[in-house]
Amino acid sequence: MLLEIRAVEPFFKNGFVIGCEETHEAALIDPGDEVEELLAIVSRRRLAVKHILLTHAHVDHVSGVARARSGLGASVYLHPDDRFLYDAALDQAKFFGLFVEAPPPIDRFYTDHPEIVFGRYTIHVRHTPGHSPGGVCLHVAGPPETSGAVPPKLFVGDTLFAGSIGRTDLPGGDYDTLIRSIREVLFPMGDEAEVYPGHGPKTTIGEERRTNPFLK
């Protein structure tokens, strides 16, 4: 799978381009302030972006959605439980003293589209509330012939980090719900599963199960 990650100030939030190496169909995950870099990757690699996928709707994860949507024409996906945060993106930005372009309407909700395809890859949407009510994990599975041979890739937003977990003091956050999402949704993905958080370096489920101080 083609995979590129970019992060810029002020939030240093990871934005992702994922693509099929055979068909060059692709998706963006959480386009934020790094959106121009993501679009440059799309152009350079000549990718056809079919989907703009949001793990949740905090402002650092949606500040580039308007630019991505206008530049690519791809459908925007979100879990409906985060709709209230998405609709308040401008107010969220003002809280940090920032300005963002108003995000476009959501095209599709994950509750109606639990599986999303790009090229030969399938994304399975797993609801992981706790950091926010509509947080999701995007579980990318490869072609059928690679099943069991390639670790799954999990794009987890701000649910789980290398050595830490997402904060739960923002509107809609809940600590017990977050821990349950990690233990009951993410951990069963297996120790080899690769975890791509919304901030910081990638890790694995096994590493976090063994060493994360919040999960012992």
pLDDT band at residue 29 under the 50/70/90 scheme? very high
The whole model's pTM is what? 0.96
Collapsing DSSP states into helix, strand and coil, what is residue 207? helix
Residues whose CB falls within 8 Å of the CB of residue 56, separated by 6 or more in sequence, listed in order = 79, 82, 85, 131, 132, 134, 135, 136, 157, 158
Q: Tokens 């950091």 appear where?
A: 131
For 2-211, the fitting CATH number among 3.60.15.10, 3.30.2010.10, 3.30.9.10, 1.20.1640.10 is 3.60.15.10
Given the structure tokens 């209230």, which residue do they identify? 84
Q: Region 23-47: what's the mean pLDDT? A: 98
- pLDDT at residue number 216: 84
Domain boundaries, the chain: 2-211
Backbone phi, psi, residue 172, to 5°:
90, -5
pLDDT of residue 4: 98
* pLDDT tens-digit readout, 50-91: 999 999 999 999 999 999 999 999 999 999 999 999 999 999
